[in-house]
Structure 1
Amino acid sequence: MLDFDIAGSCNGWLCLSNSSQNTFHLYNPFTSDFLELPKSTHQNADVCTELGFGFQAETEEYKVLKISHIIGSVGGRRFCGYPQPKAEILAVGSLTWRRLGRISYNLVQSPSQVMVNGRLLWVNWSFIHRLSDNRLISFYLADEKFRMVPNPDSAGFERHGYHRLTLVTTGGCLSVVLNINMGHLRFGACFYDPRQETFKDIKIPGMPNMFEAVAHDGNLNGIDSLLIGM
């Protein structure tokens, strides 16, 4: 049985990674199309990866962004997030990855990455950076540039810490979920203006902003059964 992690999704396509073999695939569970992506240029056993996957409407291209972190160690504890990871990108259909060089951010691993208005967004991880560096980071698929984005006012990033944050999308808008304490979640939605790189809070009538998490054993048995025969 093939062992994959779901690194991202877009327009029905799943971006899958196999960390043990350092391979990446695209899979559409609705059409059963399965595509193995070319090997990237950064192949190292002491590297962990963060993937971004999205669609560039202007050129009608799917792109996969790979960020390679050197695995560090503090007090005998290994962690993924050494400063200045390397970035590379693949336009699906191309045979080679293009190097984008080193970046100045440590990005929180999935499922924090989302795509809004042609931009991939992550949280900048504060384990290495100063607390003042806690910011959202965007990657524009059109110009392939990273940018630091002002925080939504209601998110409470500094109060609760980025390790408690998950980014999601709701109706095409960026939303944040904060795990405040003991499974209690805070939800906030905001409109992201890609031209100004700013946010505007959205109030959803009748929706509370605090929830209690309920455990659910979700799985992808349907997808697994299709992958077994490939």
Structure 2
Amino acid sequence: MDIYTIRDPKATPLTSLAIDPHEYLVGFSIIGSCNGLLLLVAKHGSLVCIWNPSTGDQLEVRSHRSQEKLIYKAWMFRMRYGRSIFMNDKYEEQNAWWNCRRLYGFGYDSNKDDYKVVAIMHGNSEKIQAKIFSMSSSSTWRRIKNYDEFNHMVLYDFDGKFARGAVYWVGCIVDNGVKTSKWRLVAFDLGCEEFKEIAPPEHLNNS
């Protein structure tokens, strides 16, 4: 799909996203695309959707259904009053979800003929988590273990870009809690499902 599809009368008509607009009033962000599929993320974070705009097929990846209304109300409360709605440890996990930066990546695993979504969460508590969702399993998120090795880095607020079987983010090295000018690429191999750090060419880095 490209810009000419919109004007080509012979092209397959685009379809509408079959999601209740009243349930997600805050809208969606387009995170990335791969082979004609789009990755959409609700701005309040309770829904990730893989959508084929040509066929209308879509796969919704939700948070726990019992938490969805609570998550939406918490997002609206934070937007209106500027603070968390959660007041006790019972909802510590949900509170942590709202107090974190979330970066996503989307790509294709040619070895397994599968599309995968990667979510990286940086919390205020300095706890960093990375999870992966496989389109073929359509079940739940799985935690990526070796991302704990990257606690010495801070990723910039840009979602990942897919190329040649991996998703890439850009970050910088942190020294004693201070960001440095030394930047790195963080790559996630969708085949072996592992992260690795890539140093840039010397003339592009102040190392």
Common fold: TM-score over 0.5: yes
**Which residue of 1 is the match for residue 140 of structure 2?**
96
2:189 aligned residue (125, 140, 146): 140
**Which residue of 2 is the match for residue 45 of structure 1?**
98
1:34 aligned residue (37, 58, 82): 58
Shift of 1:6: 1.1
Structure 1, gaps ≥5 residues long: 73-81, 160-230
Letter in 2 for 1:55: Y
Shift of 1:15: 0.7
In the alignment, the residues of structure 2 paired with residue 20 and residue 100 of structure 1 have an alpha-carbon distance, to the nearest angstrom, of 23
Tell me, yes or no, if the aligned pair for 1:6 and 1:17 is still in contact at 8 Å: yes
**Which residue of 2 is the match for residue 110 of structure 1?**
158
Matched, 1:61 2:114: yes
Structure 2, gaps ≥5 residues long: 1-20, 65-92
3-state SS, counterpart of residue 134 of structure 1: strand
Matched, 1:120 2:167: yes
Tell me, yes or no, if the aligned pair for 2:155 and 2:172 is still in contact at 8 Å: yes
C-alpha offsets along residues 47-92 of structure 1, whole Å, 9 cap, x if unaligned? 231111110000001111111111x4xxxxxxxxx74510111111
Normalised TM-score (structure 2): 0.61
Letter in 2 for 1:37: V
In the alignment, the residues of structure 2 paired with residue 51 and residue 23 of structure 1 have an alpha-carbon distance, to the nearest angstrom, of 13
Runs of 4+ in 1 over 4 A off after TM superposition: 126-130
In the alignment, the residues of structure 1 paired with residue 142 and residue 167 of structure 2 have an alpha-carbon distance, to the nearest angstrom, of 18
Mapping for residues 117-196 of structure 1, pairs under 5 Å: 117-125=164-172, 130-131=179-180, 133-152=182-201, 156-158=204-206
3-state SS, counterpart of residue 139 of structure 1: strand
In the alignment, the residues of structure 2 paired with residue 125 and residue 84 of structure 1 have an alpha-carbon distance, to the nearest angstrom, of 17
Letter in 1 for 2:57: D
2:42 aligned residue (13, 18, 35): 18
Shift of 1:21: 4.4
Shift of 1:157: 4.7
In the alignment, the residues of structure 2 paired with residue 53 and residue 106 of structure 1 have an alpha-carbon distance, to the nearest angstrom, of 20
Tell me, yes or no, if the aligned pair for 1:120 and 1:138 is still in contact at 8 Å: yes
Between Structure 1 and Structure 2, the one with more strand by share is 1
Equivalent pairs, count: 147
Normalised TM-score (structure 1): 0.56
Tell me, yes or no, if the aligned pair for 1:84 and 1:106 is still in contact at 8 Å: no
Shift of 1:130: 4.3
Tell me, yes or no, if the aligned pair for 1:49 and 1:69 is still in contact at 8 Å: yes
3-state SS, counterpart of residue 90 of structure 1: strand
1:31/1:138 CA distance change after superposition, 3 Å: same
In the alignment, the residues of structure 1 paired with residue 173 and residue 113 of structure 2 have an alpha-carbon distance, to the nearest angstrom, of 35
Shift of 1:158: 3.9
3-state SS, counterpart of residue 33 of structure 2: strand
